[in-house]
Amino acid sequence: MAADLRTDELEAATAMLHRFSMLIEDGLAARFSGWLSSREAWHDFIKGLEAAGYRPALLALSVLAICLLAIAATAAAGRSMTAGLKARPFLSAAAWFAATLLVVLTFWVLLLSLVPDPVLRRALLNCVVISAAATTICFPLAMGRRSIFSRWRRDLAVAIGLACGGLLVLACLRVWNAADPLRDLFATFAVSLPFTVLVAAAYLRHRELVTRALSFGSRAGSLRRKLAAIWPWLAVAIVTLAFVFIQLDLTIGRPTRGGLLLISLLLALAAPHLDIAIERRGWLVARSRGGELAGALWRTFRIVVASSILAVLAMLWLLPILDVVGIARGTVVLKAAEILMLVLVIAFCWNWVAIVTARIKPHASGDPHGSTAVIGTRLTTVGPLLVGLTKAALLTLGALTVLVMLGINVWPLITGLSIFGLAIGLGSQTLVKDVVAGLFFLVDDAFRHGEYIETSGAKGTVERISLRSVSLRHPRGPVATIPFGQIGKIQNFSREWVVEKMLFRVALDTDVEAVRKLFKKIGQEVAADPDLNADLIEPFKSQGIAALEEGTLVIRGKYKARAGRQFQIRKAILSKVRTTLAENDIKLVPKPLHVPQMGG
């Protein structure tokens, strides 16, 4: 029984493939036959124009003249409207669009008043629209500011310009009712094929530049960089698939949704380039002074563009399915619009918080050996935790609001989560202790990013602060992660100032007063050093004899410096003490060694 069922399914699939292959074979035969008869169709088209009272040569010159006028007018209007907007690409694009509308409306008014023939007027208006649109797209691409992407942009402009020229001829053929084989010939060999070949060649020729542009701001090895590396080949596959499905539509002669697929593929082709252009502009704006709000708006605009592309794809593919299953389109569109508005508001808040966080993000240590560190402010220490809580709150509120919009009762969910959270709190008292202790440490401002601290279990520079622990990097490199609840006593070596005391051992008969004067001179020289003066609070000076040990004098010196900055000063003082004492015939003596004696 199962074998018979599989046999029937195989026969049905084979029959379907056979019918499809017959459709392809018959369609190709009909198209080739039409192409072979295109010469006769062209003569019939010319005769039809003459029979309608047109002179083909004069008509061609009129079409060419109106196209050149539309191109010149659009180029002039676009350049004048974008004269001061070269540094603002999106405003420049909007200005070009406005120039196109202005030119089309102007020519439409002129054609209404000067051309009484409605057929000729419609044909000329089509020529104006296509010429103006081609100029708006190709002129900024080909004539934009010079960069490493100029050649790639020019190649794309050539492809789009030739395709628009073919569309212009095709539009004229359609207006004057040319035969289907003639229009098929122009659509295939004057529009689809040149556009596909030229765009694919542009991507393959400049694939390294395209990869570099699309990997902007991504880390090495990231998913985005990997996709950018293969995107030129994906783009070639996309335009090739678009050409294949258009030809399949024309060959079968039945609606196979090839047009929808073409629009979908072109949107997929344009989406990464639009996204990277918006991201680059938003990154530049966010880096400028006071650009947090504008940067957040640009990042939100990325989501608007992505949502618009997804909305177009949904309208093309999902709305017909909704009609089949009996779901009202209006309800779905209204709910989707409400959810989209909420997502945009949350995205704006999220992006604004992210930009502000990037401004206050703590920097890494200035000295890789740990001698000096860039100390963060209190805001850089507490800020990341507050940002994490803010983003979590945004996600939670957004998810609950979406559920409410969809008509789902969220109160049982909130109650269940509350009980679950209480159970976790009772069962994880150590975790609660760590979180609460960390909260009080941060409120007390006990330590900050970049400060050198010592706890009961470890010491090092504060490198990371999370909700329940702090990570300390030892000067030798190891990182210790300590829960807040186990820190206990904290010694902070990086606050405000530090007194550094230094011991020097000299011979017993050394003139202590002479050493004091030399130390004072050394302190004045160090204080006069512009590289060290800013970090020195009190100059180096002698504190006299600290001890008498084994026939030697131990003389102590001290200085006061900014915390964390005393090490460079210490190096300079030690170097000067050694050379100065040697120049004044004062020798530093080693510490006496105690050798244990054997025997009794």
Describe the crossing of helices 429-443 and 378-405 by its angle, rounded to 10 degrees.
130
Question: d(Cα 484, Cα 491) in Å, to the nearest integer?
Answer: 14
Q: What angle do CA 150, 154, 155 make, to 5 degrees?
A: 120
Phi first, then psi: give them for residue 149, nearest 5 degrees: -95, 5
Copy the structure tokens of residue 146.
Answer: 């010079």
Report the pLDDT value the prediction gives residue 69, as an integer from 0 to 100: 92
Question: d(Cα 355, Cα 518) in Å, to the nearest integer?
Answer: 54
Question: d(Cα 142, Cα 146) in Å, to the nearest integer?
Answer: 10
User: Would 465 be classed as within a structural domain?
Assistant: yes
What's the order of all strands across the beta sheet hosting 536-549? Answer: 497-507, 552-562, 536-549
Report the pLDDT value the prediction gives residue 363, as an integer from 0 to 100: 45
- Alpha helices by DSSP H, listed for 215-328, are 223-252, 258-287, 292-317, 319-325
User: Would 414 be classed as within a structural domain?
Assistant: yes
431 and 408, same structural domain?
yes
536 and 441, same structural domain?
no
User: Would 576 be classed as within a structural domain?
Assistant: yes
Closest CA to 203 of 148, 264, 155: 155
Strand partners for 559:
500
Give the count of domains, the chain. Answer: 3
The tens-digit pLDDT sequence of the chain (600 residues) is 555 556 766 777 777 777 777 777 777 787 788 778 878 888 888 888 888 888 888 888 988 899 999 999 988 888 888 776 665 666 777 788 888 899 999 999 888 888 888 888 888 888 899 888 888 888 887 776 666 667 877 888 888 888 888 888 888 888 888 888 888 888 888 888 888 888 888 888 888 888 887 776 666 556 777 788 888 888 888 888 888 877 877 787 655 455 566 667 677 777 777 777 777 777 666 666 656 666 667 777 777 777 777 777 777 666 666 665 566 667 777 777 777 788 778 877 777 777 666 655 544 444 434 444 455 555 555 666 677 777 778 788 878 787 777 777 777 777 766 666 666 655 566 777 777 777 777 777 777 777 888 887 788 888 878 777 888 888 788 888 888 777 878 888 777 788 888 888 888 878 888 888 888 888 888 888 888 888 888 888 888 888 887 778 888 888 888 887 788 888 888 888 888 888 888 877 777 665 555 554
475 and 518, same structural domain?
no
Q: Which residue segment(s) compose the domain that 532 sits in? A: 497-583
Domain end (from 431, 463, 492):
492
501 and 480, same structural domain?
no
539 and 473, same structural domain?
no
Report the pLDDT value the prediction gives residue 362, as an integer from 0 to 100: 47
522 and 475, same structural domain?
no
454 and 394, same structural domain?
yes
Prediction pTM value: 0.57
Q: What angle do CA 342, 348, 354 make, to 5 degrees?
A: 135
Question: d(Cα 427, Cα 339) in Å, to the nearest integer?
Answer: 37
388 and 486, same structural domain?
yes
Question: d(Cα 580, Cα 521) in Å, to the nearest integer?
Answer: 9
User: Would 8 be classed as within a structural domain?
Assistant: yes
505 and 461, same structural domain?
no
Domain CATH number, residue 413 = 2.30.30.60
User: Would 525 be classed as within a structural domain?
Assistant: yes
467 and 506, same structural domain?
no
505 and 464, same structural domain?
no
394 and 474, same structural domain?
yes
Domain CATH number, residue 573 = 3.30.70.100
User: Would 562 be classed as within a structural domain?
Assistant: yes
Copy the structure tokens of residue 102.
Answer: 């202005």
User: Would 560 be classed as within a structural domain?
Assistant: yes
Question: d(Cα 567, Cα 532) in Å, to the nearest integer?
Answer: 10
Question: d(Cα 171, Cα 455) in Å, to the nearest integer?
Answer: 80
Residue 36 has a CB neighbour count (10 Å cut-off) of 10
Closest CA to 58 of 71, 49, 48: 49
User: Would 397 be classed as within a structural domain?
Assistant: yes
